[in-house]
Homo-oligomer: A and B are copies of this chain.
């Protein structure tokens, strides 16, 4: 049921703020209904309800929270094809991708149910008392993690299910025991309402307090700033642009009581093509690269936006094969007209740069479609021109041509923090790769061999994070079971009677 409503305190409410509309990504046509944005009063009420829900919600058992997460997953599936078709219309993404993402979203929710039942996320520690220690006895000390409090989540445009209303941030925060307030992304408001209602129904079904979840709509950044500034909010999850993330970071730092912001912002995901690998399989790598580059119209946080290689026959073979492969790549509908315009503008700037040469372009499409693009530039120009280090969100990439392995290594030292860094290597490259590892470990949250970063497994050992500006906090991940750690803090209990300890510590 899509009615154009905010969801606050378990109820669907028409907002009173400025209206937003859904847009069919492929045609640019407006889709009904309209959503009136949450007013300042609505936001404040949702935040206060979340604060009131915090204590009862965190007091629920891990089993109750696990079942809540699993019920959300079931409810999302139960929406059926209405969710898939609406999401396809709003995002322009194909059915297979949306169905896959729905599965991933459910899997994430179920993973955190598993994490809860496993219990190791609590980091339980116990130092027993030493009553006879000299010169003073040692008390009994027990430690466990506790939730931070209500979390504001800013949904991403590019994963309308897996990084949106019931995405990884929401799942990990709810698992931790934190109520969640989601700012719906205006690029898929109908999808958001459907999923939000699935969460509200699960909360009701599982007897969770009504303030445990809210979904708020609104244009622009005002609603986000109001949420992050609200005193009841204790942490922020965000996936989006560098500008948007940094604005939230500033607001969070300027609060009377500053709070952590987990913002995933910007990454060009360098791909290192080592000489041995190019000699061995330049064409195969090129094919894989173009596949990764054009996946989902290039709208992945881990899209390979930068390729680094040493000049020579191997690189020439790669460039020829990539060019050929790319020339056959169809234009694809992008998520929003704004994203498409920014992409086209970014590509235009690259193409007009005097030192940048075109390697290949995909086919031209309609006004709502992005045309894939591959460029090349010499390393010296790249190192001297910071504008070439910026992310172009979409299926565009830049090959840095290095005159030797010294320059090849130097590029890694000149880059900003990244989500991923991919190495294409053969046996003969191991020594050079080993020398570069300490630099690459400082550069990125995930380093991968002979693959591309666009598949982000939901797993225990995943890190989807990385040094600034890839994220605002490189000590964390937003994908995988470790994501729950973002919303926890340790509490120590000293000399407590057993009956007063939290159940997990008894």
A interface vs B, CB < 8 Å?
Answer: 55, 58-59, 123, 125-127, 136, 138-139, 141-143, 146, 148-149, 249-250, 253, 257-258, 260, 416-417, 425, 430, 433-434, 437-439, 441-442, 444-451, 455, 457, 459-463, 465, 467-469, 472-477, 482, 488-497, 499-500, 502
Contacts and interface: CB of A to CB of B under 8 A. Distances in A.
Q: Which of A141, A448, A475 has the most CB of B within 10 A?
A: A475
B451 A495 contact: yes
Contact of A143 (B143, B253, B257, B463): B463
A184 to B, nearest CB: 27
B445 A463 contact: no
Contacts of A258: 249, 468, 472
Contacts of A125: 460-461, 482
Nearest to A482: B490
Contacts of A450: 495
A346 B470 CA distance: 45
A447 B253 contact: no
Given A445-B490, A451-B495, 14 more contacts: A125-B460, A143-B462, A148-B474, A249-B253, A257-B417, A257-B469, A425-B497, A430-B499, A444-B491, A448-B494, A449-B496, A461-B492, A463-B491, A474-B489
B457 A139 contact: yes
Contacts of A148: 474-475
Given A461-B143, A475-B488, A492-B461, A468 B500 contact: no
Contacts of A138: 457, 459
A17 B170 CA distance: 52
Nearest to A144: B461
Contacts of A257: 416-417, 467-469
Given A127-B459, A149-B442, A461-B143, A451 B490 contact: no
A489 B494 CA distance: 29
A489 B475 contact: yes
Given A58-B438, A449-B497, A460 B143 contact: yes
A231 to B, nearest CB: 11
Contacts of A149: 442
